[in-house]
């Protein structure tokens, strides 16, 4: 089933999403990879506030390349999500509702998604040019010194993702492995 959603996300929207749903996201999303996540969590541990309000927001695990002339953004394909797993809970506690990356998440993160009512979307790796077309603007908002790993605010239109983990404990990757294991060769 294909669904269109707009950021910021509410609990009701997150509750309506199920593993395998094809989703088109419109609105603003934020970029952050390993270095930005580490810095955000360290700031929270020191009692500092974050440079962005994550409540209801979606973070895209991407470090876009610099844009070429005439482009809004350079190559913007997803990075491996499991690398951010150790940083997820503090952001979910603050109301983060979605994450976009590639690959599976740990069992701990899947449990946290249920606890905090958030969803993990998978974007297809290797199609950075296709994804780039859905990004209409890009604004640097924090950690400029991190270069491509700085936090950016992206305006996206019909950004294509698939629900990989929902708040009901379902896992697209696990279901796929089970289906594949049933195939007789």
DSSP letter (8 states) at residue 7: S
Q: Which domain holds residue 43?
A: 2-181
Helix (H, G, I), strand (E, B) or coil at 163: strand
Domain containing residue 153: CATH number: 3.20.130.10
Among the listed ranges 3-7, 95-99, 169-173, which one has the minimum average pLDDT value? 169-173
Counted domains in the chain: 1
Q: Enumerate long-range contacts of 144-150, CB under 8 Å, 24 or more apart.
A: 146/35, 146/36, 146/39, 147/63, 148/63, 148/64, 148/65, 148/66, 149/32, 149/33, 149/34, 149/35, 149/36, 149/63, 150/31, 150/36
Catalytic residue positions? 37
* pLDDT of 33 over the 90 cut: yes
Say how far apart CA 43 and CA 100 lie, in whole Å: 22
Each residue's pLDDT tens digit, 105-155: 999 999 999 999 999 999 986 666 778 889 999 999 999 999 999 999 999
């Amino acid at each position: 089933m294909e669904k269109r959603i707009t950021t910021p996300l509410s609990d009701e929207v997150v509750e309506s999403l199920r593993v395998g749903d094809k989703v088109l996201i419109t609105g603003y999303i934020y970029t952050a990879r390993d270095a930005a996540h580490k810095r955000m969590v360290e700031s929270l541990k020191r009692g500092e506030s974050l440079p962005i309000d994550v409540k209801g927001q979606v973070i895209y695990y991407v470090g876009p390349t610099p844009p070429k002339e005439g482009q809004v953004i350079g190559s913007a394909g997803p990075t491996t999500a499991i690398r951010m797993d150790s940083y997820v809970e503090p952001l979910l506690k603050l109301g983060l509702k979605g994450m976009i990356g590639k690959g599976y998440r740990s069992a701990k993160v899947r449990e946290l998604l249920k606890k905090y009512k958030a969803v993990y979307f998978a974007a297809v790796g290797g199609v950075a040019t296709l994804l780039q077309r859905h990004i209409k603007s890009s604004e640097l908002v924090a950690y400029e010194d991190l270069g491509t790993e700085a936090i950016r605010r992206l305006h996206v239109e019909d950004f294509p993702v698939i629900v990989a983990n929902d708040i009901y404990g379902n896992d697209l990757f696990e279901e796929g492995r089970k289906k594949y294991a049933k195939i007789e060769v």
